[in-house]
A and B are shown apart, each in its own frame.
Chain A
Amino acid sequence: MTTLFPDAEQVSAEMLEFARRAAATLPALAKVDDTPAGCSEKKAVWTDGKLTLYRYEPRAESRGLKPLLICYALVNRPYMMDLQPDRSLIRGLLEAGLDVYLIDWGYPDGSDRYTSLDDYINGFLDRCVQFVRKAHKVTAINLLGVCQGGAFSLCYTAMHPHKVRNLITMVTPVDFKTPDNLLSKWIQGVDTELMARMGNISGDWLNAAYLALMPFRLAQQKYISLVGNADDAQQLENFMRMERWIFDSPDQAATAFTQFVRWFYQENRFVTGGLVLGVRKVDLARIGQPVLNLYGLQDHLVPPSASLALQKLISSEDYTAVGLEVGHIGMYVSGRAQREVPGRIAQWLAAR
């Protein structure tokens, strides 16, 4: 007769071992120090309100390319791009001879509740671009947008095309209403006017929404699996560093957030048109420069279909889409991304 489950002795031994490992893991985790955010040397070269613009110290001979400005999302913190030496997209780019700048948006507070998307994109982002152009005496720079920062970069390039030489989008949503976009389905009926009246949107609220996308895996299984690595101090440290990043979520400026929800998630204006920021119309068809679109094939936050919609909306004849077998976060920190992404970006830029 087939026995489906292990016998009592094996179960007993396994459960006891699990409990012992858990007993060892919890104190070990408590002892893991908070590691510093980011690992590569950088210098703050510009501040603008709560925004800081960083320039990274070179780690290889310059390839003589135009400077690369990374526009990160408003949600979560940008140190994910440079988490630790063996998980750093920025380090990879530096070692490929690129000159890298990064925007850190800071932590909005109550005084930022009326900050709008126009302020972020035509204000803060534009001033960063101006700074880099002036510092390098160039008319156009290379722009890399990540996730929501990718959507910002698309808006910016469409409104200021002469200032962007090449555009790279990474795990960037373009079509916000594809059938596999769970977050989008949930947010369609949210009353953004009501939400805006209650002030900034808390980072905790966003975290809860992200966890609810895959609750069993994200709120349970990942901790259970960690117990198996109790003896590996490096693993525990990596885990805690990632844990810190995941829950280090700035509040979102009320006006900008609700505009983003309404115009992008609910009205899908990249696709349907009608997006206006300040006095400028955003028409993706004005993007004629080379575009490299990097997306994760396992991305549950920005499904590939949401990113791949870009090609039909821009006028560029030099469009490259690259799908990697990674998830949303894996695009910056997985071993595969570490091996493939910086080199691809550097080669692509060097050819243009």
Chain B
Amino acid sequence: MNQDANPATAWASALGQLQQDIMRQWQQTTRPPAEASAAPTPWTPFAMPGLPGMMGLPGAPPPPPPPATPSFAAWDQYFKFSQSIADQFQKLSGAGADATAQAREFASAMDNWFQKLGGSNPLMAAFGQMVPQFPQANAQGPALGMLREHQQAWQRLSQATQKLQQQQAELSALWSKVGQSASQRFGDEMKQRLSADKPFSSVMEVYNLWVECAEECYARVAHSPEYGLLIAALTNTVQELRLEQQRQAESWARQLDLPMRSEVNELHRQIRELKAELAAFGGPGSPRRGDRGG
């Protein structure tokens, strides 16, 4: 491509190529040794390691390996973001563009980008991963016959999953609200800059203003009772789901005469009681202690 002939297209293309190179280089740098893993897993802060695999017991594939680097997804987003900004600047920085239109179009582009970000938001992705894909058969019907206990367990699991999906959708809606208000706020800031005749001096300045607006709008939503209740409800649902999964796992462990977490817990509880009794008799008490001088 001839850069002199079409500089805007050329630099955008070069930028895209560079970004691809960076991502490839970074992936190679952080790849686990040999054939240890397949594609890198996106960063999922709320994901509980092992849960997806546990859902399909028995014969489920092992859970995916941990991500090579937790910030990988974030870097990917930065590059997408920068490309998005570059595209906008390319459209808007031409001679003769109306400044108000610039502000409006840019805010709109940011809004679109935010929607995309919301879709690939690690928190969203995490909840998405939590949702298991298991047969819906017998999910609603009465529990009858020899397998009624198992059927009830699966029903509880199904209900918790549906609840999680619903709450996840509610959270997405709130995030969209944040995106919309952040775009609006960003547009307002730009109008003020226009009237004050204070153009942006750099792309980074634009980005920093965007972050400022987004945090401000996010904080407003995050402090609302609605958001607080939803986050708590989501946390509780995730715990319910984990509890049901644990019951399923323990059921299988019992069938195979494997030790169960509940048995280990019981042992810990008994040891704790014994230590307390020992301490009451003036013994050394619960913890191992060692005086190393000093």
Tell me the A residues contacting B by CB distance below 8 Å.
1-12, 14-16, 18-20, 22-23, 26-27, 30, 43-49, 51, 55, 110-111, 113-114, 119, 123-124, 127, 131, 135, 182, 185-191, 194-195, 197-199, 202, 204-205, 207-208, 211-217, 219-221, 223-224, 228, 247
Known: A5-B106, A49-B288. A220 touches B18 (CB 8 A): no
Partner among A2, A8, A16, A22 whose Cβ is within 8 Å of the Cβ of B14: A16
Assess the A30–B30 pair: CB atoms within 8 A.
Answer: yes
Give the chain B neighbours of A4 by CB distance below 8 A: 99, 102-103, 106, 190, 193-194, 199-200
Partner among B94, B96, B233 whose Cβ is within 8 Å of the Cβ of A8: B94
Pick the most buried of A9, A51, A127, A186: most chain B CB atoms within 10 A of its CB.
Answer: A186
Q: How far is the CB of A141 from chain B (nearest CB, A)?
A: 13
Assess the B233–A189 pair: CB atoms within 8 A.
Answer: yes
Give the chain A neighbours of B48 by CB distance below 8 A: 202
| Bound form: Cα–Cα A5–B88 in Å | 10
Assess the A11–B269 pair: CB atoms within 8 A.
Answer: no
Give the chain B neighbours of A182 by CB distance below 8 A: 219, 222-223
Give the chain A neighbours of B222 by CB distance below 8 A: 182, 186, 212-213
Q: Which residue of A lies closest to B208 (CB)?
A: A221
Partner among A14, A123, A186, A204 whose Cβ is within 8 Å of the Cβ of B287: A123
Q: Which residue of B lies closest to A7 (CB)?
A: B93
Partner among A8, A26, A198, A202 whose Cβ is within 8 Å of the Cβ of B93: A8
Known: A19-B18, A22-B22, A123-B287. A11 touches B268 (CB 8 A): no
Give the chain A neighbours of B233 by CB distance below 8 A: 189
Q: How far is the CB of B153 from chain A (nearest CB, A)?
A: 16
26 A–B pairs (Cβ distance < 8 Å), ordered by A:
A1-B99, A4-B194, A4-B199, A4-B200, A5-B89, A5-B102, A6-B89, A11-B90, A15-B11, A18-B204, A19-B22, A22-B79, A131-B294, A194-B236, A194-B239, A195-B239, A198-B243, A207-B45, A211-B45, A216-B215, A219-B122, A220-B78, A221-B208, A221-B211, A223-B75, A247-B70
Q: How far is the CB of A324 from chain B (nearest CB, A)?
A: 22
| Bound form: Cα–Cα A289–B12 in Å | 66
Assess the B236–A190 pair: CB atoms within 8 A.
Answer: yes
Give the chain B neighbours of A207 by CB distance below 8 A: 45
Tell me the B residues contacting A by CB distance below 8 Å.
7-8, 11-12, 14-15, 18-19, 21-22, 25-26, 29-30, 45-46, 48, 70-71, 74-75, 77-79, 82, 85-86, 89-90, 92-94, 96-99, 102-103, 106, 122-123, 126, 190, 193-194, 197, 199-204, 206-208, 211, 214-215, 218-219, 222-223, 225, 227-229, 231-233, 235-236, 239-240, 242-243, 246, 261, 264-265, 268-269, 272, 286-294
Q: How would you classify the secondary structure of chain A's contact residues: helix, strand, loop or mixed?
A: helix
Q: How far is the CB of B36 from chain A (nearest CB, A)?
A: 18
Q: Which residue of A lies closest to B288 (CB)?
A: A49
Assess the B77–A23 pair: CB atoms within 8 A.
Answer: no
Give the chain B neighbours of A211 by CB distance below 8 A: 45
Known: A43-B294, A114-B268. A16 touches B223 (CB 8 A): no
Known: A23-B21, A189-B229, A189-B232. A114 touches B269 (CB 8 A): yes
Give the chain A neighbours of B291 by CB distance below 8 A: 45-46, 131
Q: How far is the CB of A24 from chain B (nearest CB, A)?
A: 10
Q: Which residue of B lies closest to A191 (CB)?
A: B236
| Bound form: Cα–Cα A19–B26 in Å | 13
Assess the A216–B202 pair: CB atoms within 8 A.
Answer: no
Q: How far is the CB of B99 from chain A (nearest CB, A)?
A: 5
Q: Which residue of B lies closest to A50 (CB)?
A: B287
Q: How far is the CB of A177 from chain B (nearest CB, A)?
A: 12
Known: A186-B231, A198-B243. A6 touches B26 (CB 8 A): no
Q: Which residue of B lies closest to A9 (CB)?
A: B7
Partner among B223, B242, B287, B288 whose Cβ is within 8 Å of the Cβ of A185: B223
Q: Which residue of A lies closest to B85 (CB)?
A: A15
Assess the B8–A12 pair: CB atoms within 8 A.
Answer: yes
Assess the B71–A224 pair: CB atoms within 8 A.
Answer: no
8 nearest A-B pairs in the assembled complex, by CB-CB distance: A189-B232, A208-B45, A45-B294, A49-B287, A12-B11, A185-B228, A11-B89, A19-B18
Assess the B268–A2 pair: CB atoms within 8 A.
Answer: no
Known: A11-B203, A110-B264. A16 touches B11 (CB 8 A): yes
Pick the most buried of B12, B29, B93, B223: most chain A CB atoms within 10 A of its CB.
Answer: B93
Q: How far is the CB of A35 from chain B (nearest CB, A)?
A: 18
* Besides the known contacts A12-B11, A199-B261, 9 further A-B residue pairs in the complex with CB atoms under 8 A apart: A4-B99, A4-B200, A8-B89, A15-B82, A30-B30, A46-B290, A47-B292, A48-B287, A114-B268
Q: How far is the CB of A279 from chain B (nearest CB, A)?
A: 12
Q: Which residue of A lies closest to B30 (CB)?
A: A30
Q: How far is the CB of B35 from chain A (nearest CB, A)?
A: 21
Give the chain B neighbours of A212 by CB distance below 8 A: 123, 222
Q: How far is the CB of A317 from chain B (nearest CB, A)?
A: 34
| Bound form: Cα–Cα A26–B293 in Å | 46
Q: How far is the CB of A28 from chain B (nearest CB, A)?
A: 11
Give the chain A neighbours of B207 by CB distance below 8 A: 221, 224
Q: Which residue of A lies closest to B190 (CB)?
A: A4
Assess the B287–A8 pair: CB atoms within 8 A.
Answer: no
Q: How far is the CB of A221 from chain B (nearest CB, A)?
A: 5
Assess the B93–A16 pair: CB atoms within 8 A.
Answer: no
Q: How far is the CB of B166 from chain A (nearest CB, A)?
A: 16
Assess the B294–A219 pair: CB atoms within 8 A.
Answer: no
